Structure 1
């Protein structure tokens, strides 16, 4: 049965943030090969006011957006109500007429909390997909926790990207039988082993310099500042080492200021955000990927680096230990800069079997992911008559 699926999320590319949510883009693009998929993305009103940054075209997916409006400097516990009202006022008439079979909300708060209300109003079942800090951080706040719990309990299914997140969903009263662990996939056409020297030549990097790579948002909770503070230990062991950050975010300025204060700004390079399909050469060029996050689901950059045969140093948080075996990297406690320093030095001196690392990543396939997601959505859609009666 071909489904008509409505996806509601803030994690998807828009003209105001064309690089956002690459993992969702890959998943929904593949889902659209088998089902009719409409993705309606929430755009923060402040982001919209900042202006368009690029164009977005996603094969097979009908995309649209609405502006998420909320009163600034007011508690975030009101955001789900503002999200739902913004959506309904801007797109409610169209949504009522669309005849969707089910709804997929990708992100727990405010997206899923608001989507549960919308699904009941439309008389269709909904599935919640959670990613990491939506449960690890947002659910730690009492009023938001109540709304997230309600959204999970009312869903026809809950999809998590790790077993650790699945346990958090169950702790929030999601029925265990309705919770599905679904690891993200890796695109082998983009991420596979290759020549390091060729990758470095393409990126205009020195051919022999030890290179540690960070890929992700430049924000404190991702550990980017922890990595900077840990880096001098590696420079002491390997004086030519360089640290490259790929990404953008609020820590851009603090990273530069701190590197200057520590006296090694010339060894730190901030590349900025780059398109997802351009990351492969960065992973192949690096000696190590380091992602010392304070909380996580399962970050795709870890899987993608492994698929390129690149070892990973990461923190033992969220679902990272589930996907990063000893053969592919080292794990350290979050917030522990001394342990991170030691791991960087140890990993840089190890002889890594890059083919074995890539084999570990080959288990994470988008085809398998999307097939299972389609089954979950199909089962959810089968509950539609009961859902419709309940909301009549």
Structure 2
């Protein structure tokens, strides 16, 4: 197959660390098929300048600038996505001869890309991740656009069963929806020597360490975690809290750490490359991710692959992948319960080998097998229908080559 992926979640020179889960998946798909990834780059980000190399071996990647209105005008984003894509890449798209399109992210990506697929006369598959349905579909003017994109899709891939149910509730045909967990690269994420990892990262050898890995956004629960941390320090005064990641809440976290008198125990590392996360996982005692909504965050799977337990919120697909022997789940927005869970996590015995063995069941090879079947079904279904011609014949009176 010749597959076109349209998404905002893929490494670009403006954000080389973006969409590492998609990078891993699409790179593996490209080992079997020809994969082109066309990534939307927000116009504000593009003006800020590039920040690194974003080449992905085996994948043909390109970018287009996504211009869109702010604030209330976001209900127009799907149209803007479509218009920007066609304005900047129309000729390339028409001449490439793609068999199928995969739109990764529900809004505006899938809603805008669906129009492009229809113009090209090719089937499309939508991949949904979490807040693209859980949050975006709650907006009155965006919901019908998402519903239209899901209903027209030849397949819908959801990263959890909870998200698959959400897609069906929004209007996707149940027989087109495929729950498909991401995989874990166990060559990179596996158990290792905690003391050695701490030495490399300049972390105290014997301190209890809580790790947060992800975007520093309020919806990820990073502020809830700083509020919960004093409960752990009351029981373990030498405890440390490490945030790995960047985002708009960086300053808020510093302010709250100072106000709660825990600033010396809190470390804000900033963003790191995906491969570097393995050492941070091995160095930690617990990964905490108190998100307000989620699909299935890959950091949870990767941390478990390194043998560390999880304290997280029971939202989205997290309860599907974190069994009792691998962690503790709490309701979202509840800092008191989160603090209690952190204390329990340090006083309860977890079996690192059992946690790592569970995480190893999330295999990228199986993920690609199933993704491939969804895409092949989409192509096969389209081939059974009359195909609209999008380019003129090579010569008058003759059909184009097939």
TM over 0.5: yes
Q: Is the 2:69–2:76 contact (alpha carbons within 8 Å) kept by the matching residues of 1? A: no
Q: Secondary structure of 1:143's match?
A: coil
Q: Does 1:173 align with 2:171?
A: yes
Q: Is the 1:125–1:387 contact (alpha carbons within 8 Å) kept by the matching residues of 2? A: no
Give the aligned partner of residue 18 of structure 1.
16
Displacement after TM superposition at 1:298 (Å): 0.3
Q: Whole-Å Cα distance in 2 between the matches of residues 305 and 388 of structure 1?
A: 48
Displacement after TM superposition at 1:173 (Å): 1.2
Displacement after TM superposition at 1:6 (Å): 0.1
Which residue of the other structure, out of 89, 92, 99, is the alignment partner of 1:91? 89
Q: Is the 1:161–1:181 contact (alpha carbons within 8 Å) kept by the matching residues of 2? A: yes
Give the aligned partner of residue 230 of structure 1.
228
Q: Does 1:289 align with 2:287?
A: yes
- The TM-score normalised by the length of structure 1 is 0.98
Q: Secondary structure of 2:69's match?
A: coil
Which residue of the other structure, out of 193, 196, 207, is the alignment partner of 2:194? 196
Q: Whole-Å Cα distance in 2 between the matches of residues 389 and 52 of structure 1?
A: 40
- The TM-score normalised by the length of structure 2 is 0.96
Give the aligned partner of residue 36 of structure 2.
38
Q: Is the 1:295–1:318 contact (alpha carbons within 8 Å) kept by the matching residues of 2? A: yes
Give the aligned partner of residue 245 of structure 1.
243
Give unpaired runs (5+ residues) of structure 2: 391-402
- C-alpha distance after superposition, 1:26-47 (max 9, x if no partner): 0000000000000000000000
- C-alpha distance after superposition, 1:157-197 (max 9, x if no partner): 00000000000000011111110010000001110011101
Give the aligned partner of residue 212 of structure 1.
210
Q: Is the 1:124–1:388 contact (alpha carbons within 8 Å) kept by the matching residues of 2? A: no
Size of the alignment, in residue pairs? 390
- C-alpha distance after superposition, 1:254-292 (max 9, x if no partner): 000111111111111000000001100100000000000
Compared CA separation, residues 277 and 103, structure 1 to 2 (3 A) = same
Give the aligned partner of residue 379 of structure 2.
381
Displacement after TM superposition at 1:384 (Å): 2.4
Q: Whole-Å Cα distance in 1 between the matches of residues 136 and 389 of structure 2?
A: 28
Displacement after TM superposition at 1:385 (Å): 3.2
Displacement after TM superposition at 1:387 (Å): 5.4
Displacement after TM superposition at 1:118 (Å): 0.4
Matches within 5 A, 1:78-227: 78-227=76-225
Bigger radius of gyration among the two: 2
Give unpaired runs (5+ residues) of structure 1: none
